[in-house]
Amino acid sequence: MRNFLYQHGLVLFLIVFFGRVVLGMLSVKGIQLINPELSIQEDLGWLVMLIYATCTFLAVKWVKIDKEIGLTKPSSMREYYVWLPTLIIPLTIAYLLGFNSTWGHVPLLLIAAVGVAINEEILFRGILLRALLPFGTVVAIIVPSFLFGAIHLSNIIVGGDVTFALFQFGWTFFAGMALTAMVLANNSLIPAIVYHFILDAVEYAATGEFGVHSTDYSIKWLIILLLLKVAFFIYSLFLLKKSKKSSQQVSLAISSAN
């Protein structure tokens, strides 16, 4: 079974994707049998994200593709430095929205942010990216990112604002392509996980919610964030192209030396 899943990345992705959802929802339903007033949006989002992250992490460890998908330290600190310009996005969120949570709620929001970052990066920029790379870089960047964006539309089902969810699809699509390009340029998932955590932690602290927002937000604010994600994508493509060029130069140098 393990060898089969190792060789069939898309099957592994589907099993992990749906398996974590089943485990998460069963856990929520079990808790709601005891206390029906608890909801994912307001109370249990952190637990669901923690279950999702645990499932994805254990899956890649069991199949033994953790190092292959980039769950290793970057080769140098430079791999972190290139992410510094992208911090303009969480800083903008903090500036526009401020802090709208209680300090007692912050630990749960941080747990949710950690869970989301680990779960989504391993699932989309790890398992699915590995499965689609044989089809070419363009396919490997676009397809996982489109799915990454599409799943955020499900927030509407659990009470999220429709307008926010539609913009969230746009953000996550462009951010997904940007993160994928950055992972390919870095050859590591760790910086992407750290950045994803920072981004979500700031958003959750600013809204006081676990990523599912029922409140109406200014269209101007939503458009600004969308444009920032587009800029992030353009920046990531520049770094990926630069990384590929450097790799080609190294290969040519080695060939010449031989």
In a domain? residue 7: no
| pLDDT of 256 above 60 | no
When pLDDT is cut at 50, 70 and 90, the band that residue 212 belongs to is low
In a domain? residue 169: yes
* Tens digits of residue pLDDT in 105-118: 889 999 999 999 99
Nearest Cα neighbor of 165 from 123, 214, 228 is 214
CA distance 20 to 179: 22
* Tens digits of residue pLDDT in 38-90: 877 777 888 999 999 999 999 999 999 999 999 988 877 877 888 899 999 99
| pLDDT of 140 above 50 | yes
HSE of 96, CA atoms in CB hemisphere, 13 A: 18
Contact criterion met (CB below 8 Å) for 84 and 22: no
132 Cβ contact partners less than 8 Å away, ≥ 6 residues apart: 9, 10, 139, 140, 143, 144
Most confident listed range (2-11, 154-163, 165-174):
2-11
| pLDDT of 160 above 90 | no
CA distance 206 to 200: 10
Contact criterion met (CB below 8 Å) for 122 and 189: yes
| pLDDT of 158 above 80 | no
CA distance 18 to 36: 24
Pick the range with the lowest mean pLDDT from 38-42, 174-178, 247-251.
Answer: 247-251
- pLDDT value of residue 258: 46
In a domain? residue 148: yes
When pLDDT is cut at 50, 70 and 90, the band that residue 196 belongs to is very high
- pLDDT value of residue 221: 85
| pLDDT of 210 above 90 | no
Overall number of domains in the chain = 1
| pLDDT of 178 above 90 | yes
CA distance 212 to 195: 20
| pLDDT of 216 above 70 | no
| pLDDT of 163 above 90 | no
60 Cβ contact partners less than 8 Å away, ≥ 6 residues apart: 66, 69, 71, 122, 126, 127
Tell me which residue range forms the domain holding 83.
Answer: 67-248
CA-CA distances (angstroms) from residue 146 to 54, 139, 142, 172, 185?
24, 10, 6, 8, 20
Question: Which pair of tokens denotes residue 235?
Answer: 């920046």
Nearest Cα neighbor of 189 from 253, 237, 130 is 130
In a domain? residue 36: no
- pLDDT value of residue 88: 93
In a domain? residue 139: yes
CA distance 128 to 13: 6
- pLDDT value of residue 157: 65
CA distance 2 to 20: 18
- Which residue type occupies 135? F
In a domain? residue 240: yes
